Structures are given as C-alpha cells and as structure tokens.
C-alpha cells in the first residue's frame, strides 16, 4: 500500500490493479473510493477481483469503483467490446442506437459509449434525454442499426446501474452473441479520454422526436371504438421512471382516456424517493398509487416500472386492492389479442416458467403458441426468426408483455394502452378483468400460479439440483409425479438449467437458479380442468395447496446458515 492509501500492487489476483484503474477513471472520486476500500481487503477484492459479465439482463451492478461495479471505466470497456465485436462482423457501417434511463450517471454512461464508438469509426445515434427502453428498441429496427445500447437498471434499487444490449434483429442479445462480445471485454488496457471522440461528433436525436416517432409507429390511432365510449377513470404511476409522458402521448393517440397521475411519482427521478426497490412486483411499491385511487374513488391502478418495459395492474375489490399476477395480465392480454386479430399464421409465445393458461387458450383458438426459455431475449426469438408469421403476443410472468411486432422486446407502454383498450371493450359487454378471468377459467380450466424463492449458496443450489435430477421425488403433496423434464437434456439452443415436475392432480413445479443472484427460484402452478361455479373457494384451495407445495420444494435445498 502506498502512503496515500492507494493499493497499487497488480499481483493480488485483481482483474485490474486499483492504481491503474484510478488513473483511467475520469471520476474524481475514484481515488478516494479506492483509499476507503483499502482499509478492508475483502471489500477491495469484491470490487477488483472479478469483472462484470454479461448476464441475464446484460451488465447490472451497484455503482462504484472497479471492474465489478458500474462506472465510467466499466462502461467504456463494455462499449469498446461491442465496437470490436461489430468490427469482427463488418457491421460498423450500420451504426449503434443509444439511449438511457433517468438514474444518476446514466446520461454520462450513454455519452461515453457514444463517444468511444464514434472514435472507433462507428456511427452512433444518441437520444438526448432519458426515455423508455421500448423507444430505443424501436429505433434500432427503424434505423436498421447493428446494435442498440440502453443504459438502464430497470427496477433495481437507485444505487444500481445497468447496460442492456440489443442485436441487429431487434431483440436482446442471446448466446452465443453475449459470450462473443464478452471475449472482447478485456481490462488489460483501459480506455481513457484520448480514446473518445468529442460529443459534438456524435449524432444527437431529439428526445421529443424520438418518442413521437415511436408512438406514431407503435400505437394505432383510435383503434378501439369501445375506448371512445369508455369513461372510467384509472390511476397511473411510472414509479419515478421515464414512462409517464410517453404513456400519456400514447393514450392520446389511441383514443384512450388519460389517466389520473400519481403526481409524486410522475416525473423521472433516478433516486426513487420513497421507493427503495422500485419494482411493481414488490409488496408496497404501488401503495402511493392505491392511496391516490382511494381518495378519488377509482378502482383501477396501472404502473410501469422505471424504464417502462413492464406493466403492473391492481384492481380494488370488496376485500381491498388485488394486484393481478403477471400470468393473469398475460392471459387477459392474450385473450384480447386473439379476439382482435385474424389469420392462420398468428404466433404467440411465453416462457416455460409462466402459466400454461395462455398456451391452452391459444390451442383452443387454433393459434400457434411456443414455450421458450426464460427471458424476453428468448420469448421474442420466434418473432425475429419467423417473418412469415404474424406475431401477436408474447409474455413472461415477471410483468413483461409484447403486443405487436414493432418492438421485439417487452413494451410496457404499448401493453398499457392495449390493456386499457381491453378494459373498455370488456366494459362495453358488462365485464371487468376479474369477471373475464372467471369466464376464461370455465372455458379452458382454472390455472393458479405461485412463486417462492430463497437465497442459498451457489454450490448448494447446484448440488441440490443434482440430487433432484438423480433421485426426483415420487410425489408432490401426496399426488404421484407423472413427468420429470430436465431442460439440461433438451437439444441446443433450448438447453437450460431448469427442472420441471408434474403430478397426477395437475400440479407443476419448475425450479431454476437465478441468473443474477445466489438464489433458487421455484414456480408453481395448479390446474383444475373443470372448476365448480364457486371459483373463489377453488382458487383459495389452490393457493393454499401451492403455498404448501412451495414449502416442500424449498425443503429440497440446503439453506445457508
């Protein structure tokens, strides 16, 4: 250690020597941060020993110093790796679309990426203000660019930043592309200011123009006649993210009644005040919206997550606020899309950990449905690879929905507009979303889903899954197991670390490790083929059954002490 406290020894097993990092980092606080970390060898190692890798959602981590954190050096290295990858494929002439969310440093990370790629001779288009991820994904295809970079950490805590990459087909990058880009992501020679072009040399795209172009292309004008006659109020929150103004513009174009704003959460604020984890799936995240709705006597609340690619819906019932699950919203949107499209070549998809209700509905309506691996990069693969098909819908249980083929990714803006068109259509028939779910249960059977998860050591997850594969249980809560499907044995590229169990009484359990955390995730579903008319009690019984089954499934894994 030097007298100034900065660790400079490159032979400590670090990916980059801390002093070398400080010299390349334009952040004036980098030296101070390294000096503080030097007092704690474990903390220093956590920041410098292993660099970030492209995972399920690209790069995503807490902001900080070192290659294991999100910062300007990490972002520059990532941008350089993308540039080198595009060079290897002779795609530099097609350019890169770049945008960012409203988090701290996101604009700087985006401009650094654009400046570095421009210096490499790659044309870049940088949207000059924070905007929804779907807007950037649409512009990628509109410009026929080679790639898009979206600086966003989605619904992670305010201390995190992220870096999402899309390929030339308009979808999030999949294997082997992510690994190929990662091979170029080396930290042996760190970029510095001399490796970046001036921001004046980057093509700037006006935010307002970018958003209006997206809305005009993706949102059909006054598509639903029912929307014009629907006068019900609804409350909307973008959770301090970037979706608010785009959503209002989209509603106006579609002829959907404008929502009542949650004013305290409407403007973009990357610090997310009052929202420690701005994920609409998390309990309590939509409480402020519920309060606004209660005060106005409104029984429908809708939210986008901070980068506006996800959609959450809550409905007021006699028992209080009920947040629809991603599977319930997915089934409703699927039903709506099937009812409002025609043709023999329609195509839909959902992930293997999502409910099978949408697949059953599509089968009943004679429409092709594909079960894909987890994540929207896989859900949208059929849409990208089958231009002959008419893509009408895709979803995942984690609140992601695709309702058209203009954006080949989840799109919370378009999904929200479509959902409100559906609400208007249902109202014209004397129905609401919950009543329609009941009707669908009598049509295709009742599907009830539940999830449990636990933080368990990575090695414990691996060993426990190995035991389950070698000796799977014979029953699930007393019902004999009739099928064990190991997705590690599926032919490439459908191979994934997922184990699926089915029992005689209609229970299904899908188990996989998280792609970003040392956590096991367990997805449970109960199918009742012919539910009785008292659906509420049947649902309650299914939930109780799945909660018990979830506790049983968790017992198969050794917990960290």
Positions marked catalytic: 154
On whether the CB atoms of residues 499 and 486 are closer than 8 A, the answer is: yes
Half-sphere exposure of 324 (CA within 13 A, CB side): 27
Letter string b/e over residues 536-549, b meaning 16 or more CB atoms within 10 A of that residue's CB: eebbeebeebbeeb
Query: How do beta strands 368-372 and 346-351 pair?
Result: parallel
Does residue 55 sit in helix, strand or coil? Answer: strand
Three-state SS sequence of 515-543: CCCCEEEEEEEEEECCCCCCHHHHHHHHH
On whether the CB atoms of residues 62 and 517 are closer than 8 A, the answer is: no
Torsion, CA 201, CA 206, CA 207, CA 208, rounded to 10: 180
Three-state SS sequence of 405-458: CCCCCCCHHHHHHHHHHHHHHHHHCCCCHHHHHHHHHHHHCEEEEEEEEEECCH
Q: How far apart are the first and last CA of the chain?
A: 35
Instruction: Give start and end residues of each alpha helix (H) in 265-411.
Output: 287-296, 326-339, 357-365, 376-379, 381-385
Torsion, CA 381, CA 383, CA 389, CA 390, rounded to 10: 150
Point out which residues pair with 499 in neighbouring strands: 486, 511
Task: List strands edge to edge, sheet with 300-304.
Answer: 260-261, 235-237, 300-304, 311-317, 320-323
Does residue 6 sit in helix, strand or coil? Answer: coil
């Amino acid at each position: 250690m030097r007298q100034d406290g900065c660790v400079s020894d490159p032979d400590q097993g670090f990916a980059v020597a801390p002093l070398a990092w400080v010299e390349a980092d334009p952040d004036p606080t980098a030296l101070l941060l390294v000096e503080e970390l030097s007092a704690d060898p474990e903390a220093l190692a956590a920041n410098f020993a292993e660099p970030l890798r492209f995972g399920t959602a690209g790069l995503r981590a807490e902001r900080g110093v070192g290659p294991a954190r999100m910062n300007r050096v990490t972002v520059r290295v990532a941008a350089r790796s993308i540039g080198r990858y595009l060079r290897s494929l002779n795609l530099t002439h097609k350019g890169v679309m770049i945008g960012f969310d409203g988090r701290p440093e996101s604009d700087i990370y985006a401009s650094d990426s654009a400046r570095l790629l421009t210096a490499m001779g790659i044309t870049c288009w940088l949207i000059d203000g924070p905007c929804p991820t779907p807007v950037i994904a649409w512009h990628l295809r509109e410009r026929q660019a080679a790639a898009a970079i979206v600086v966003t950490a989605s619904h992670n805590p305010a201390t995190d930043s992220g870096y999402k990459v899309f390929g030339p087909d308009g979808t999030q990058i999949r294997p082997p592309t992510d690994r190929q880009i990662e091979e170029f992501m080396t930290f042996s020679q760190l970029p510095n200011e001399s490796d970046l072009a001036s921001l004046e040399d980057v093509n700037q795209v006006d935010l307002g123009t970018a958003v209006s172009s997206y809305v005009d292309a993706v949102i059909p004008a006054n598509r639903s006649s029912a929307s014009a006659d629907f006068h019900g109020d609804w409350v909307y929150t973008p959770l301090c993210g970037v979706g608010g103004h785009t959503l209002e513009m989209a509603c106006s174009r579609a002829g959907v009644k404008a929502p009542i704003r949650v004013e305290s959460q409407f403007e973009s604020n990357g610090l997310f005040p009052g929202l420690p984890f701005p994920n609409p799936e998390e309990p309590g995240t939509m409480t402020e919206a519920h309060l606004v709705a209660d005060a106005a006597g409104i029984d429908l609340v809708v939210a986008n997550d901070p980068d506006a690619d996800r959609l959450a819906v809550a409905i007021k019932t006699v028992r209080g606020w009920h947040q629809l699950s991603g599977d319930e919203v997915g089934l409703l949107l699927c039903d709506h899309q099937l009812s409002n499209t025609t043709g023999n070549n329609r195509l839909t998809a959902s992930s293997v950990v999502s409910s099978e209700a949408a697949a059953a509905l599509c089968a009943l309506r004679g429409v092709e449905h594909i079960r894909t691996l987890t994540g929207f990069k896989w859900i949208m693969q059929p849409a990208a690879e089958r231009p002959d098909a008419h893509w009408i819908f895709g979803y995942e249980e984690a609140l992601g929905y695709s309702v058209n083929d203009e954006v080949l990714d989840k799109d919370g803006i378009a999904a929200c507009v479509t959902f409100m068109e559906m609400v208007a259509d249902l109202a014209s028939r004397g129905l609401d979303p919950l009543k329609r779910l009941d009707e669908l249960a009598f049509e295709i059977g009742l599907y009830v889903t539940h999830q449990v998860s636990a933080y368990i050591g990575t090695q414990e997850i691996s060993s426990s899954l190995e035991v389950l594969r070698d000796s799977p249980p014979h029953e699930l809560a007393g019902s004999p197991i009739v099928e064990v499907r190991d997705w590690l044995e599926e032919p490439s590229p459908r191979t994934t670390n997922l184990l699926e169990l089915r029992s005689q009484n209609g229970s299904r359990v899908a188990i996989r490790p998280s792609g970003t955390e040392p956590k096991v995730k367990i997805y449970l579903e109960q199918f009742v083929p012919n539910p009785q008319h008292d659906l509420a009690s049947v649902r309650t019984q299914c939930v109780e059954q799945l909660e018990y089954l979830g506790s049983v499934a968790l017992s198969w894994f050794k917990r960290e002490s």
